[in-house]
Each structure stands twice: as structure tokens, then as C-alpha cells.
């Protein structure tokens, strides 16, 4: 299958990409790793007349520590996230999740910014970014702005990004001491996308009481979402088996679950609870050991 014809642009800077987006408006699409966009173009579900390739822009890729946060450039590939020593030391949940995306070819090409901007309801990284309380920086014609992860995912394949904005970086606060995180996923056997994926982050104090809990779930609704009821239940509790079990039972409270080709709403709710329990159990082990 071949995409419809388009004009190909290779801007050398973010500002240049933004002006191209602003000039061609609905007729333009940004290209990062191409592993979501190109298949859609080949199916002719998207037929941009102008394709703006971000990959020649210097400085959009890389992982660094700055000002109490980890900063990841939007063009950083899944493989770079998966193999980063800095992330393994500071935010191991992120390499753990990135390593479960698709296969090696997908991880070599796909980017964190492309995954978040595309906002596939079965993508892995949105759940992790939500649990980590990240902020996403975008550049548009009026300059830079920052959006909290919880405000970024709006609906199915829809984010808070404006059509003339480029997502430039993801900023994740460094976790508090005695924090542990884990990502648990039930992958689709063919694509490896998440039928359900749960990212859990727990912080405990010296007396083993939960100080903070943060849970992101993907695959069950039109967008990745926080499991607020489960989080709130855990805070201030001693995280014994009963507490984790009850929290997992509350994982889907208040979330609108969508049946899809992978399963009914009941099946997805069941998986979400099972995978929340697993993610919480491993996150707790890591928090206690931290």
C-alpha cells in the first residue's frame, strides 16, 4: 500500500517546524518515528499534503537531569529510554515500560513524543507518564507552554496539543526517597499494544505507611487515565495484602470502560484489577527496598 502524494519538509529548528505547521494548518502533519503515522497514511486514513519531518532538528532527542527533574526530548526513541542508565537509576519504571513496546524495530524508530502526541488508547507510555506526574512542553507560534500529563490526554487520539504546536520535551520530577514503581501489561499477542497496562508508583515512609500512590491505566478507555479511587484508598494505609487487594478492586471506579476488539468492558475491568494488583505489589517491593 502506498500513501497519497505529499510534499516533504525537513526543518532545521523547532521554530521552522512551527511556522510550517502554522502555514499549512490542517494540510500538515509532523513526522517523528513514523511508526503510527506511516501505517495510517498507507491506509489513507490520513492524507497530509505536507509532511514535516522533525528528525533533522538538533537537540530534540536525549535524556538529562536538570533542576530536580529528568528531561526527555520528544524525539528520544523507545530504545534510548529502554537502555538509559540514568533512567534505570532514577525512574526504572520508564525503561521497564519502553522495553515492552512492540518489537526491536518499533523501539528503534518510535519516539516518546510521537507516542504521547498520538495518544493511542492502547499505548504504554501515556499510563507511565500519568503515574509519574510528568509535564509536557510544547512550542507554538506564541512561544512555549507546559501542560500537566493529566490534562494532556483529552480523548481517543486527541491531546491538548494545538495543531500548530510541536511537543518538545517531557519533564518528570525526580521521585521522593522510598518510592518504587512498576509497569504491568497484558500485551496483544500480535501487536504487543496493551490490552491493559498499569503503571503504579508508591512512596512509603519509615513506618511502612503509604505516603503517596499514583496509578495510570491504559487500554480500558478512550484514553489513558489515573485510577484515583485506588490511589486515594491507599494513602495513609499500611500496604498489607488486604489493602493492595482492596485498592486493586477500586482501580476502575469512576472510569468509563470501552469494549473493543480485544474484549468486553467486563473483561477489561477484570484485567485492570488483576494488573493493578500486580503493579502495586512490585512497586511496593521496590519502594521498601529503595
Ligand X SMILES: Cc1cc2nc3c(=O)[nH]c(=O)nc-3n(C[C@H](O)[C@H](O)[C@H](O)COP(=O)(O)OP(=O)(O)OC[C@H]3O[C@@H](n4cnc5c(N)ncnc54)[C@H](O)[C@@H]3O)c2cc1C
Give the binding site for ligand X (CB under 6 A): 29-37, 39, 54, 74, 101-102, 106, 110-111, 113-115, 117-118, 120, 123-125, 161, 166-167, 191-193
Nearer to ligand X, 188 or 237 (CB): 188
DSSP state of 119: T
Nearer to ligand X, 87 or 287 (CB): 87
* H or E stretch covering 182: strand 179-187
DSSP state of 54: G
User: Least distance (Å) from ligand X to the CB of residue 117?
Assistant: 3
Nearer to ligand X, 159 or 252 (CB): 159
User: Least distance (Å) from ligand X to the CB of residue 187?
Assistant: 6
User: Least distance (Å) from ligand X to the CB of residue 8?
Assistant: 13
Closest listed residue to residue 270, CA positions, set 245, 289, 251: 251
* DSSP β-ladder status, 63-66 and 153-155: unpaired
Euclidean distance between CA atoms 81 and 59, whole angstroms: 16
User: Least distance (Å) from ligand X to the CB of residue 191?
Assistant: 5
Query: Side by side, which strands form the sheet with 28-31?
Result: 7-9, 50-53, 28-31
User: Least distance (Å) from ligand X to the CB of residue 251?
Assistant: 20
Nearer to ligand X, 91 or 167 (CB): 167
Q: Residue 80: how many CA atoms within 13 Å on its side-chain side?
A: 17
Nearer to ligand X, 37 or 202 (CB): 37
Are the C-beta atoms of residues 107 and 82 closer than 8 Å to each other? yes
Amino acid at each position: 500500500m502506498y500513501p497519497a502524494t505529499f510534499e516533504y519538509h525537513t526543518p532545521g529548528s523547532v521554530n521552522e517546524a512551527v511556522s510550517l505547521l502554522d502555514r499549512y494548518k490542517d494540510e500538515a502533519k509532523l513526522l517523528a518515528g513514523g511508526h503510527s503515522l506511516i501505517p495510517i497514511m498507507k491506509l489513507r486514513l490520513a492524507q497530509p499534503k505536507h509532511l514535516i519531518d522533525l528528525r533533522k532538528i538538533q537537540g530534540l532527542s536525549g535524556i538529562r537531569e536538570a533542576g530536580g527533574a529528568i528531561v526527555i526530548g520528544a524525539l528520544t526513541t523507545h530504545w534510548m529510554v529502554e537502555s538509559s542508565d540514568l533512567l534505570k537509576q532514577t525512574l526504572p519504571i520508564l525503561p521497564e515500560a519502553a522495553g515492552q513496546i512492540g518489537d526491536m524495530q518499533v523501539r528503534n524508530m518510535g519516539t516518546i513524543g510521537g507516542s504521547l502526541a498520538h495518544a493511542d488508547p492502547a499505548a504504554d507510555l501515556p499510563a507511565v507518564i500519568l503515574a509519574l506526574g510528568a509535564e509536557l512542553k510544547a512550542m507554538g507560534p506564541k512561544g512555549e507552554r507546559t501542560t500537566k500529563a493529566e490534562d494532556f490526554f483529552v480523548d481517543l487520539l486527541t491531546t491538548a496539543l494545538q495543531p500548530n504546536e510541536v511537543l518538545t520535551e517531557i519533564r518528570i520530577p525526580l521521585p521522593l526517597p522510598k518510592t518504587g514503581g512498576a509497569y504491568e501489561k497484558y500485551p496483544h499477542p500480535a501487536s504487543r499494544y496493551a490490552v491493559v497496562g498499569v503503571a503504579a508508583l508508591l512512596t512509603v515512609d519509615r513506618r511502612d505507611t503509604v505516603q503517596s500512590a499514583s496509578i495510570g491505566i491504559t487500554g480500558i478507555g478512550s484514553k489513558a487515565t489515573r485510577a484515583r479511587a485506588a490511589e486515594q484508598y491507599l494513602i495513609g494505609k499500611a500496604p498489607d495484602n488486604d489493602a493492595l487487594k482492596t485498592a486493586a478492586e477500586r482501580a476502575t471506579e469512576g472510569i468509563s470502560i470501552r469494549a473493543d476488539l480485544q474484549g468486553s468492558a467486563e473483561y477489561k475491568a477484570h484485567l485492570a484489577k488483576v494488573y493493578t494488583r500486580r503493579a502495586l505489589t512490585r512497586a511496593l517491593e521496590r519502594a521498601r527496598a529503595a
